[in-house]
Chain A
Amino acid sequence: MLPEFQSVRAKTKAEALSAVSTLEHVKIIAGGTDLMVRMRRGELCTHIVDISGLSEIRGIETNGPMIVVGAGATHRDVSMSRIINENVPSLSRACGQVGSPQIRNMGTIGGNLVNASPAADSLAPLLIHDASLILESEGGTREERLEDFIVRPYETSIRDDEMLSFIHIKPLKGYREGYKRVTKRATWSISRLSVAWAIKEEGGCYMDVKIAVGSCTPMPFRAKEVEQFLVGRNIEEGVIREAGKMIVDEIRRITGERPSFVYKLPVLKGILHEVLRG
Chain B
Amino acid sequence: MKNIKFTLNGKTVKLEVRDNETLLHTLRERLDVKSVKEGCSIGECGVCTVLIDNEPHCSCLTLASKVDGHDVKTVEFLGSEEALHPLQEAFIRAGAVQCGYCTPGMLLSAYSLLLRTKDPTDDEIREAISGNLCRCTGYIQIIEAVKDVAGISECKG
Contacts and interface: CB of A to CB of B under 8 A. Distances in A.
Contact of A101 (B19, B20, B65, B128): B128
**Chain B contact surface mostly:** mixed
B63 A7 contact: yes
B66 A101 contact: no
Contact of A5 (B20, B68, B127): B20
Given A40-B41, A101-B130, A105-B56, A3 B20 contact: yes
A4 B47 CA distance: 25
Interface in B37-56: 41-44, 46, 49, 52, 55-56
B55 A105 contact: yes
A9 interface: yes
A102 B63 contact: no
Contacts of A3: 20
B44 A188 contact: yes
A93 to B, nearest CB: 14
Given A103-B131, A106-B61, A5 B19 contact: yes
A191 interface: no
Contacts of A5: 19-20
B22 A106 contact: no
B131 A29 contact: no
Contacts, number: 88
Nearest to A74: B55
B61 A37 contact: yes
A100 B65 CA distance: 23
Contact of B62 (A37, A53, A106): A106
A36 B61 contact: yes
Given A37-B43, A103-B43, A105-B56, A32 B131 contact: no
Contacts of B56: 101-102, 105
A187 B131 contact: yes
Interface residues of B, number: 29
A2 interface: yes
A187 B132 CA distance: 10
Interface string B131-152: 1010000000000000000000
Q: A31, A48, A50, A100 — which one has the most chain B CB atoms within 10 A of its CB?
A: A100
A188 B133 CA distance: 10
B34 interface: no
A125 interface: no
Contact of B19 (A6, A36, A40, A186): A6
Given A33-B43, A37-B42, A40-B42, A102 B131 contact: yes
Contacts of A106: 43, 57-58, 61-62
B95 to A, nearest CB: 23
A105 B155 CA distance: 20
B35 interface: no
Given A7-B2, A100-B131, A188-B131, A105 B65 contact: no
B109 interface: yes
A99 interface: yes
Interface in A83-120: 99-103, 105-106
Contacts of A2: 20-22
A193 B22 CA distance: 33
Given A37-B61, A102-B109, 6 more contacts: A33-B43, A101-B130, A105-B56, A105-B57, A106-B43, A188-B44
16 contacts: A2-B22, A4-B19, A7-B2, A7-B63, A9-B66, A36-B22, A37-B61, A40-B42, A50-B63, A50-B65, A50-B66, A100-B131, A101-B130, A102-B43, A103-B58, A188-B44
Which 8 pairs, one residue from A and one from B, show the smallest C-beta to C-beta distance? A100-B131, A187-B130, A7-B19, A36-B61, A2-B20, A102-B131, A37-B42, A105-B55
